[in-house]
């Protein structure tokens, strides 16, 4: 279980998720609890059937299409149930009744999670697994056994737990790519048109827990089954513009505020990526300059810009590090319970100043304990 230090500034939160949100967004959210500007009513008491909320959803759909540079042939949905619900919805929609296996890359903790859910529905082929190497690296292109007949290829763009990130699009262009981008969504520009579906829960880079963004190409759904429960049917959700049933109004509104911040304050995904790259570079540099005191977990070429996972020479030193970090006001630095160690998550909302403070703290700690 994780301890939380007091830090009402919310500026040193390295949590793996729910993650830190930009300060200006937190201020706007706080204001909206009393009254949404231009509306004059608490965000918690506004009907999801109001004109205002329809405009929120429409603006947010457009902002996401604009940020990802996607044409109108992509639908943008805001669903509940987290990435976990997508682990089931994807095969229910694309794998049910198929004889060819869907291909999955197993590159870490999170990409392992959808496997049992997909296997309930149809045949699954793991096109590559990093289990044997302890998920310390990602595959090269020639290691992938890609099947041109597969209904889709599923992979996770950024492994939150192990700190691994694909820095390229993988897979075949003639097989639909379905990608879980939960932990690096809207963190950098990319060739998003090469994906047929992208999903991401909000609580890393784009909002609070409780809403999941799904971006899906219209053509992917042409043969989707007709007999799914309504809330698990992408087409029913598309038709309703995400208001098939009462949506998580608050969470969706916060995501809208984050996209406005990305567009108007940050200046788009290229600018966001420049800042994220700077943050990651500063922290990896500190690891590389530590004479092996802070070994990085991930192979050099696959290091994540979002989650920097590392160790210390002994478990005792790791505990001492986490305790000292808590005392210094840093939160969320404990590694995921499945791997332990240390993990610093550098999501969009985290400032460069926080990373610089952490680097300073780490250098002090190393001098004291090495």
For its own copies, the binding residue among 245, 285, 319, 338 (CB under 8 A) is 245
Q: Is 229 a residue that touches its own copies (CB under 8 A)?
A: yes
Return d(Cα 315, Cα 65) in angstroms, integer.
45
| Residues 22-61: x where in contact with its own copies by CB under 8 A, - otherwise, as a string | ----x--xx--xxx---xxxx-xxxxxxxxx-x-------
Which residue lies nearer to its own copies by CB, 117 or 318? Answer: 117
Q: Is 307 a residue that touches its own copies (CB under 8 A)?
A: no
The Cα angle at residue 78 between residues 72 and 83, in degrees rounded to 5: 115
Q: Is 235 a residue that touches its own copies (CB under 8 A)?
A: no
Contacts of residue 22, Cβ cutoff 8 Å, sequence gap at least 6: 258, 261, 265, 348, 349
For its own copies, the binding residue among 115, 224, 232, 240 (CB under 8 A) is 232
Query: Taking CB under 8 A as the criterion, which residues in 177-196 touch its own copies?
Result: none
Q: Is 76 a residue that touches its own copies (CB under 8 A)?
A: no
Q: What is the DSSP letter of 34?
A: H
Contacts of residue 84, Cβ cutoff 8 Å, sequence gap at least 6: 113
Report how many residues bind its own copies under the rule CB under 8 A. Answer: 70
> Quick one: tokens of 194?
């090469």
* Catalytic residue status for 110: yes
Single out the catalytic residue among 128, 184, 204, 279.
204
DSSP lists the bridge partners of residue 159 as: 164
Give phi and psi for 278, each to the nearest 5: -60, -45
Q: Which residue stretch of 7-15, 149-157, 167-175, 290-298 sits at the interface with its own copies (rule: CB under 8 A)?
A: 7-15
Q: Please report which helix (H) or strand (E) contains residue 216, including its range.
A: strand 212-217
For its own copies, the binding residue among 190, 247, 335, 341 (CB under 8 A) is 247
Contact assessment for residue 349 and residue 24, using Cβ atoms and an 8 Å cutoff:
no
CA distances from 300 to 166, 295, 305 (A): 12, 11, 12
> Quick one: tokens of 239?
């038709």
Q: Is 256 a residue that touches its own copies (CB under 8 A)?
A: no
Query: Taking CB under 8 A as the criterion, which residues in 153-172 touch its own copies?
Result: none
Q: Is 246 a residue that touches its own copies (CB under 8 A)?
A: yes
Which residue lies nearer to its own copies by CB, 18 or 123? Answer: 18
Q: Which residue stretch of 21-29, 126-134, 260-268, 286-294 sits at the interface with its own copies (rule: CB under 8 A)?
A: 21-29
> Quick one: tokens of 99?
């004889």
CA–centroid distance for 139 within its chain:
20
> Quick one: tokens of 309?
């996972």
| Residues 82-121: x where in contact with its own copies by CB under 8 A, - otherwise, as a string | xxxx-xx----------------------------x--x-
CB 157 → its own copies: shortest distance, Å?
Answer: 18
Contact assessment for residue 236 and residue 92, using Cβ atoms and an 8 Å cutoff:
no
Give phi and psi for 89, each to the nearest 5: -60, -40
Write out 220-270 in H/E/C secondary structure.
Answer: HHCCCCCCCCHHHCHHHHHHCCCCCCCCCHHHHHHHHHHHHHHHHHHCCHH
Q: Is 208 a residue that touches its own copies (CB under 8 A)?
A: yes
* Catalytic residue status for 204: yes
Q: Is 21 a residue that touches its own copies (CB under 8 A)?
A: yes
Which residue lies nearer to its own copies by CB, 114 or 171? Answer: 114
Residues lying near its own copies in the complex (CB under 8 A): 1-8, 10, 13, 15-21, 26, 29-30, 33-35, 39-42, 44-52, 54, 80-85, 87-88, 117, 120, 201, 203, 208-211, 227, 229-232, 244-251, 254, 331-332, 337
**Residues carrying an active site annotation:** 110, 180, 204
């Amino acid at each position: 279980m994780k301890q939380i230090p007091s830090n009402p500034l919310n500026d040193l939160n390295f949590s793996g998720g729910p993650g830190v949100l930009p300060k200006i967004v937190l201020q706007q959210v706080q204001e909206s609890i009393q009254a949404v500007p231009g509306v004059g009513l608490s965000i918690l008491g506004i009907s999801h059937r109001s004109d205002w909320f329809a405009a929120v959803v429409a603006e947010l759909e457009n902002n996401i299409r604009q940020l990802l540079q996607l044409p109108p042939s992509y639908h943008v949905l805001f669903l509940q149930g987290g990435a976990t619900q997508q682990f089931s919805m994807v095969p229910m929609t694309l794998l049910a009744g198929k004889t060819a296996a869907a291909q999955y890359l197993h590159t870490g903790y999170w990409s392992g999670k959808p496997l049992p859910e997909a296997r309930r529905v149809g045949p699954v082929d793991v096109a590559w697994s990093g289990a044997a190497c302890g998920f310390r690296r990602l595959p090269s292109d020639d290691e992938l056994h890609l099947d041109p007949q597969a209904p889709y290829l599923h992979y996770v763009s950024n492994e939150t737990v192990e700190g691994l990130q694909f820095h390229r699009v993988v897979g075949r262009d003639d097989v639909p790519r379905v990608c879980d981008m939960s932990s690096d969504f809207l963190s950098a520009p990319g060739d998003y048109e090469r994906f047929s579906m992208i999903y991401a829960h909000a609580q890393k880079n784009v909002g609070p827990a409780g809403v999941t963004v799904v971006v899906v190409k219209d053509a992917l759904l042409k043969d989707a089954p007709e007999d799914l429960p309504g809330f698990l049917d992408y087409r029913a959700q598309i038709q309703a513009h995400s208001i098939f049933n009462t949506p998580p109004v608050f969470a969706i509104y916060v995501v809208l505020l984050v996209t406005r911040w990305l567009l108007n304050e940050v200046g788009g995904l290229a600018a966001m990526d420049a800042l994220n790259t700077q943050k990651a570079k500063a922290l990896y540099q500190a690891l590389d300059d530590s004479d092996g005191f802070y070994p990085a977990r991930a192979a050099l070429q696959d290091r994540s810009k979002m989650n920097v996972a590392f160790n210390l020479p002994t478990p005792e030193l790791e505990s001492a590090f986490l305790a000292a970090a808590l005392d210094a006001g840093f939160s969320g630095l404990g590694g995921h319970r499945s791997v332990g160690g240390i993990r610093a998550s550098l999501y969009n909302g985290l400032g460069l100043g926080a990373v610089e403070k952490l680097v300073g703290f780490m250098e002090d700690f190393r001098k004291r304990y090495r």
